Amino acid sequence: MPIHNAKFTSFGSYVPKKVITNFDLEKIVDTTDEWIRARTGMMERHYAEPEEAASDLAYIAAQRALEASPLKHRDIDMIIVGTVTGDHAFPSTACILQKKLGMKNIPCFDLSAGCTGFLYSVDVAKNFIENGTKHNILVVGVEILSKVTNFKDRSTCVLFGDGAGATIISRTERNDISRIIDSVMYADGSQSDLLYQPAGGSRMPASQETVEKNLHTIYMEGNRIFKNAIRSMYAAVDELLRRNKLEAKDIDWIVPHQANIRIIESLADKLHFPMNKVIVNIEKYANTSSATIPIALDEAIRDKKIRRGDLVILTSFGAGLTWGAILARF
Amino acid sequence: MDSEAIEAKVKQIIMEKLNVEESEIVPSANFIEDLRADSLDTVELVMAFEDAFQITIPLEDQDKLQTVGQAIDYLKEKLAS
Ligand SMILES: CC(C)(COP(=O)(O)OP(=O)(O)OC[C@H]1O[C@@H](n2cnc3c(N)ncnc32)[C@H](O)[C@@H]1OP(=O)(O)O)[C@@H](O)C(=O)NCCC(=O)NCCS
């Protein structure tokens, strides 16, 4: 039994202003609006400006989450940022965000788990709250994928967008119905080559050649990921349900990673879960990696879909491969 | 499972997953060209076979299942071994 309970206190999100439609992409690569919509459900995505970095989006999302909560800046005692497209290789984007927020004397770090980065970060935060070490942790999922996209590869470049979502995870009273109930997180590093950015790290440092060959961009075997994604998210959700003696019909909402509507529909189908209780916004933002779930949660709460007392499952998969699921009462 | 039962089950899965009439499911029918599936439908179809027959079909083998007949033959062989 943990000493304390953890709950989601508030959310905030931000996407950059520039909108890129499927029709805009038709002018860049050999693709069609029809193909993109049928295969992915995507219609638009937002791209950051050249001068905008991950911490800029994260800052606005974090400010919004703070404003939506009763908390002050000084109440935050830790920052975790889930991202694979941080401002720099180092220092962490969390430290840059700390500077922007004017917070002092707290630990700040980034967490790299591909598109599962937000769920992993929430899980870490949950443990710091439950063991009594921290009270209020700012968790952000942020990504600027448009800057690591290979616009010569039509099978990947249409899929990604930029955005940020933030939440504050707080210690809560035992009698509060709202709490993060359970989580499962997994990885399978033997499949790390299915989705990765080849150059820019110590394996293949930047050189003229890596730039010319477009190796600082996303490489993906979409077909293999597709099957893995459905199987892994289903297994994670199923494990959570069983362990908590729940059935799919007990769940009010599922908020899945927004990577492909076809993956989401297939997952819902396997779970015998109705699509009208699945939060979907992929048509507006495409895949923003670790930002998809916090953006979707922020919108669903503001649209009064997800309400206090609702039982919600979050589930994601991504590069690593990583995957996981979280069960929470809001 | 005998070969008739396998065949019946395969046809039923194809009917449900691809939303096609039973009369269209002939051995020569190609999932993409004749049964209007796209490449992602075929992945889901293979997953449905895996679930129904409790087997794993490696991705390398997926290309061997392009028609109804090929799928039935592949599954019969796989289940016999
Ligand atoms: C990426 C994805 C949509 C591609 O769909 P797919 O059906 O697997 O596509 P394939 O790569 O098999 O390509 C099928 C055909 O479409 C073509 N195609 C690929 N991208 C295209 C595009 N943007 N526009 C038009 N045609 C395209 C391919 O060239 C191929 O044509 P061919 O059969 O003539 O060779 C799908 O695999 C997917 O969503 N995978 C999961 C990826 C994911 O979620 N990643 C994020 C993880 S966090």
Instruction: Clarify whether residues A243 and A140 are in a common domain.
Output: no
How far away, in angstroms, is A222 Cα from ligand 1 center? Answer: 6
Domains contained in chain A, number: 2
Instruction: Clarify whether residues A93 and A132 are in a common domain.
Output: yes
Instruction: Clarify whether residues A195 and A259 are in a common domain.
Output: yes
Closest Cα in chain B, distance from residue A230 (Å) = 9
**Degrees (nearest 5) of the Cα angle A101, A103, A104?**
155
A269: phi then psi, degrees, rounded to nearest 5: -60, -45
Instruction: Clarify whether residues A207 and A325 are in a common domain.
Output: yes
**Degrees (nearest 5) of the Cα angle A308, A312, A318?**
135
Last residue of some domain: A172, A205, A233? A172
Residues A236 and B70: their CA atoms lie apart, in Å, by 33
Contact: A223, B47; criterion CB under 8 Å:
no
Residues A298 and A193: their CA atoms lie apart, in Å, by 32
Chain B positions contacting chain A at CB under 8 Å are 38-40, 43-44, 46-47, 59
Q: Which one-letter DSSP state was computed for residue A250?
A: G
Instruction: Clarify whether residues A205 and A85 are in a common domain.
Output: no
B38 vs A38, A224, A231: nearest CB: A38
Contact: B43, A39; criterion CB under 8 Å:
no
Around Cβ A238, how many Cβ atoms within 10 Å? Answer: 15
Instruction: Clarify whether residues A131 and A167 are in a common domain.
Output: yes
Around Cβ B55, how many Cβ atoms within 10 Å? Answer: 11
Residues A330 and A160: their CA atoms lie apart, in Å, by 29
Query: The domain that contains A263 carries what CATH number?
Result: 3.40.47.10
Domain that holds residue A131: 5-172
Residues A289 and A268: their CA atoms lie apart, in Å, by 20
Burial class (CB in 10 A: 0-12, 13-18, 19+), A315: buried
Instruction: Clarify whether residues A138 and A218 are in a common domain.
Output: no
Q: Which one is catalytic: B34, B38, B41, B51?
A: B38
User: Which residues have CB under 8 Å from A85's CB, separation 6+?
Assistant: A54, A142, A143, A144, A145, A147, A148, A289
Which residue in A84, A72, A66, A64 sits closest to A15, CA to CA? A64
Examine residue A107 and say whether the peptide bond preceding it is cis (omega within 30 degrees of 0).
Answer: no
Using CA coordinates, name the residue in chain B closest to A261. B40
SS3 of chain A: helix, strand, coil, percent, to 5: 40, 25, 35
Per residue of chain A (330 residues), give pLDDT as tens. Answer: 788 999 999 999 999 999 999 999 999 999 999 999 999 999 999 999 999 999 999 999 999 999 999 999 999 999 999 999 999 999 999 999 999 999 999 999 999 999 999 999 999 999 999 999 999 999 999 999 999 999 999 999 999 999 999 999 999 988 999 999 999 999 999 999 999 999 999 999 999 999 999 999 999 999 889 999 999 999 999 999 999 999 999 999 999 999 999 999 999 999 999 999 999 999 999 999 999 999 999 999 999 999 999 999 999 999 999 999 999 999
For the question of residue A88 being annotated catalytic, the response is no
Around Cβ A246, how many Cβ atoms within 10 Å? Answer: 16
How far away, in angstroms, is A230 Cα from ligand 1 center? Answer: 16
How far away, in angstroms, is B74 Cα from ligand 1 center? Answer: 25
One-letter amino acid identity for A277? K
Length of chain A: 330
Instruction: Clarify whether residues A150 and A209 are in a common domain.
Output: no
Q: Which one is catalytic: A46, A115, A157, A228?
A: A115
Around Cβ A227, how many Cβ atoms within 10 Å? Answer: 20
Helix (H, G, I), strand (E, B) or coil at A257: coil
How far away, in angstroms, is A39 Cα from ligand 1 center? Answer: 7
Instruction: Clarify whether residues A34 and A147 are in a common domain.
Output: yes
Instruction: Clarify whether residues A32 and A11 are in a common domain.
Output: yes
One-letter amino acid identity for A319? A
Q: Which residue has the tokens 């899965």?
A: B13
Chain A, window 14-73: residues with a beta carbon less than 8 angstroms from a chain B beta carbon: 38-39
Closest Cα in chain B, distance from residue A227 (Å) = 7
Q: What radius of gyration do chain A's Cα atoms show?
A: 19
Q: Note the pTM of the prediction, 2 decimals.
A: 0.95
B59 vs A38, A224, A266: nearest CB: A224
Contact: B47, A224; criterion CB under 8 Å:
no
Residues contacting ligand 1 via CB (< 6 Å):
A 31, 35-36, 39-40, 115, 154-155, 158, 195, 220, 222-223, 225-226, 229, 259-260, 287, 318; B 39-40
Q: Are strands A78-82 and A136-144 parallel, antiparallel or unpaired?
A: parallel
Output the 3-class SS for B39-55.
HHHHHHHHHHHHHHHCC
Instruction: Clarify whether residues A167 and A31 are in a common domain.
Output: yes
Decide if pLDDT at B1 tops 80: no
Instruction: Clarify whether residues A212 and A317 are in a common domain.
Output: yes
Residues A242 and A248: their CA atoms lie apart, in Å, by 10
For the question of residue B38 being annotated catalytic, the response is yes
- Tens of pLDDT, residue by residue over A35-72, are 999 999 999 999 999 999 999 999 999 999 999 999 99
| Cβ(A330)–Cβ(A8) below 8 Å | yes
Residues in chain A within 8 Å Cβ distance of B43: 223, 226-227
Structure tokens that stand for A320 in this block: 């690593």
Last residue of some domain: A123, A153, A172? A172
| Cβ(A167)–Cβ(A9) below 8 Å | yes
Last residue of some domain: A139, A172, A205? A172
Residues A119 and A179: their CA atoms lie apart, in Å, by 15
Which residue in A158, A39, A22, A33 sits closest to B37, CA to CA? A39
Q: What is the predicted ipTM? A: 0.89
